[in-house]
Structure 1
Amino acid sequence: MPSRLVRRESGLAHGKRLRVAVVGAGAIAGSHRAAYRAHHDDVDLVAAADVDEARVLDFCATTEHAKPYRDLDTLLAEQKPDLVSICTPPGLHVEQTKKVLESGAWVWCEKPPCRSLAEYDEMISAEREGGPYVSFVYQQRSGSAVARFRALLAKGELGRPLVAHCQTTWYRDAAYYAVPWRGRWETEGGGPAMGHGIHQMDLLLHLLAGEGDSDGGDGEWAEVQAMTARLVHDVETEDVSTALVRFGSGALATVVNSVLSPDEVSRIRIDCERATVELTHLYGHVAENWRYTPAPHANRIETEPAEDVGSSHAAALKPVLDAYRAGRRPPCGGRDGRRVLEFVAALYKAAFTGQSVRRGEIGPGDPFYRAMAGAEGKDR
């Protein structure tokens, strides 16, 4: 194996701004640009790359001085960024992430992380202790209201979680699927369970996992049963899925992912012993989107966070920058970032086989480890 670059000293540790770049100048890149602007004192957006010259020129024109590139290799060689946002389709994430890590830069990668557990493990294997690391953008678990729920749960003020519901019911028309890589197993990796519901499912699993880091504790999911269907769209993947989930604690949950729903909503409801907690929003949430209903026998619970920080790319970026300063693995990476991808793989396996799937059973010898559709791939 060729020798790897030594991890760079963090510019933040010396009061300097990190040099950051964006790969893929499509719509989601705007959220990364906004996140970097929000942390302007810590980062300097120096470059962007996209195969579409007009698109990358338009993106760079909205920045302070980012230089446009047509390819990632040239960007890395000339700009030597410290952190790179990957905003390309999921089929490109493995190759691009490995290139960035090889260059010595950290990666902040959009969802879905990749198309399979095998690809995820391949990306993580390119990391080195102390960095560079890759973190994935699960911005729905950011914000002060999420931290407040986890604190209340950890202190026992809510009691045990008993019943939960996770809902991502959105609407996407035929024009949405006219983009060539969407709706195909080979390029997108899955349907709404991968490309849409993954955010709410990650948030549900994060809320119930407590302080553990995918360590197999009672808060982790334990078993999944599921169904998928293709009811409207002419695509390879599903356009709706449902799942029943059992957690190690014994709690039960239902999960629904859809792109067929004109009344769009993202919702999580968790019934605990002492309160029902419900989050209702669409693409982002603040404290007012959370509702706590105490049980008749329970005392009033102080539910307001000390500061109302909403979920956003900017809020999700802060712990990544903090981790860079400290030279430690950021959240939403490693085992923590893998949790929801394993859950999605289990959902698909359960739907395709008609059998329940337990956490930890999908390993390298399992066809669903290498593809969310199993051995049949796009023929499903």
Structure 2
Amino acid sequence: MTIAAAIVGYGSAGRQHAQAIKDSGSVELRAVVETDLAIDTAACARRSSVAEVLRDPRIDLVALCLPPGGRAELGRRVLGAGKALLVEKPPAMDVAELDDLLARAKTQQTVAAVMLQHRMLLPPEAFGAKWGPATTSVLEVSRPRSGDHYLTRRWRGQPEHALGGILAHLGVHYLDLACQLLGRPAEVRLLGRRNRLPGIDSRVAGTVRFESGAVLSFAVTSEAAMRSERLAVFGEKHSVVIENGAVMLNDGQGERAFDAIATPRLRSQVYREVALSIAAGEEPRRCSLHAARGVTMLLRDAVRDEGAAPC
């Protein structure tokens, strides 16, 4: 069964989704909705509006590749039309938005998923460990971004549309991995923040205590020249270290290494999982939007804590 998809928004994220669809082998790109006429969508049929896509009974899945601010209303419309939904990260502006989308997906009995493709890096064995109060974890993300990055697309410099800066758009992947392993955050404390623009962070450091009792210290920056991503989780008998996509797992019986997977391939894996979920009428196992509640809670506290001292 081939799933037919439409992409709404054909900027950088939209083009990445188009490539992922092409590589998936199980999803067909049927339409693109893009209001900017300067953006070339020649590779696929251009539709004039989201309403036109939602009226098309041949389209099964709609991917929203738009800025997070205002995206939820479109998500509600997609789910209301009985279409499956795939949203770009960050998943939502706040928990209320996320819960509303999840409630509508449940009512319509359709699939709601999120493009947090780094989840596909985690081997199944990583979920077998008990990450309790003795668990200590460290997260560091360095992804260079110049000031011009936030000016090329105006929404990137507007917190009401972008939600935030480096933390919400690039740190979110490894923060989400921490939540997949450790559960929901109970308390987030910021140790400091630097902003590129008002409300658009370029460096954030803090700590998280999870409901499981596990703790995480994190630092995310766009100000360093080096690119690096690392999450290390150390439990009583187990450990998981994810560094630049490569995974080292110790399950108490010894270490096992898993090679890094290129990000485009991870995105295509998300589309394959969504296609299988739509065909089976089941919630996705990895890319479920429901599983984004933890990172949404974390971002709510970390991005909007303007009382944090500069760092």
- The TM tier, using the shorter chain, reads 0.7 to 0.9
Pairs within 5 Å for 1:6-25: 12=1, 17-25=2-10
Q: 1:238 to 1:54 in 2, by over 3 A?
A: closer
- Taking the aligned partners of 1:159 and 1:70, their CA distance within structure 2 comes to 51
Gaps of 5+ in 2: none
Task: Say yes or no: does 1:271 pair with 2:248.
Answer: no
Structure 1 residue 255, shift from structure 2 partner: 1.3
AA matched with 1:180 = R
Structure 2 equivalent of residue 165 of structure 1: 138
Distance (Å, rounded) in 1 between the aligned partners of 2:171 and 2:62: 25
In structure 2, what is the equivalent of residue 212 of structure 1? Answer: none
- Mapped pair 1:146 → 2:123: yes
> Which of 94, 100, 118 is the aligned partner of 2:78?
100
State the partner residue of 2:36. Answer: 52
Comparing both structures, which one devotes a greater share of its residues to strand? 2
Unaligned runs of 5+ in 1: 1-11, 210-219, 355-380
Match of 1:176 in 2: 149
> What is the distance in 1 between the residues matched to 2:298 and 2:33?
32
Decide whether aligned partners of structure 1 residues 293 and 77 sit closer, same or farther in structure 2, where only a CA change above 3 A counts.
closer
- What TM-score do you get using the length of structure 1 for normalisation? 0.72
More off after superposition, 100-109 vs 158-167: 158-167
Cα distance in structure 1, aligned partners of 2:162 and 2:224: 21
* Distance in 2 (alpha carbons) for counterparts of 1:274 and 1:71: 53
- 1:345 matches 2:300: yes
Query: What amino acid maps onto 2:186 in structure 1?
Result: A
Find the counterpart in structure 2 of residue 326 from structure 1: 280
Q: Is the alpha carbon distance of 1:334 and 1:175 closer, same or farther for their aligned partners in structure 2, counting shifts above 3 Å?
A: closer
Tell me, what secondary structure is at the counterpart of 1:203?
helix
2:291 is matched with which residue?
336
Q: How many percent of aligned residue pairs carry the same amino acid?
A: 23
Query: Is the counterpart of residue 33 in structure 1 residue 18 in structure 2?
Result: yes
CA contact (8 A) 2:168 2:303 kept: no
Q: Which amino acid aligns with 2:142?
A: T
Aligned counterpart, 2:202:
239
**3-state SS of 1:98 partner:** helix
- Which structure has more RCO (C-alpha within 8 Å, separation ≥ 6)? 2
Residue by residue over 1:191-239, the C-alpha shift from the partner in whole angstroms, topping out at 9 and shown as x without a partner, is 2221221111001111234xxxxxxxxxx433221134235x2343322
Check whether the contact 2:132–2:213 (CA below 8 A) recurs between aligned residues. no
**Mapping of residues 1-380 of structure 1, within 5 Å:** 12=1, 17-40=2-25, 42-55=26-39, 58-61=40-43, 66-78=44-56, 80-129=58-107, 131-143=109-121, 145-151=122-128, 153=129, 162-178=135-151, 179-209=153-183, 220-231=184-195, 233-274=196-237, 276-281=239-244, 285=245, 289-292=246-249, 299-301=253-255, 303-304=256-257, 312-331=266-285, 332-348=287-303, 351-352=305-306
Most deviating of 121-130 and 42-51? 121-130
Kindly provide the amino acid, as one letter, of the partner of residue 48 in structure 1. V
Q: Could you tell me how far 1:340 is from its partner in structure 2?
A: 0.7
Name the count of aligned residue pairs.
304
Q: Kindly state the Cα deviation for residue 322 of structure 1 after the two structures are TM-superposed.
A: 2.1
Instruction: Give the AA of the match of 1:44.
Output: E
| Cα deviation, residue 334, structure 1 | 5.0
Deviation at 1:99, TM superposition (A): 1.9
Q: Return the offset for 1:24.
A: 0.7
> What SS class does the counterpart of residue 255 from structure 1 fall into?
strand
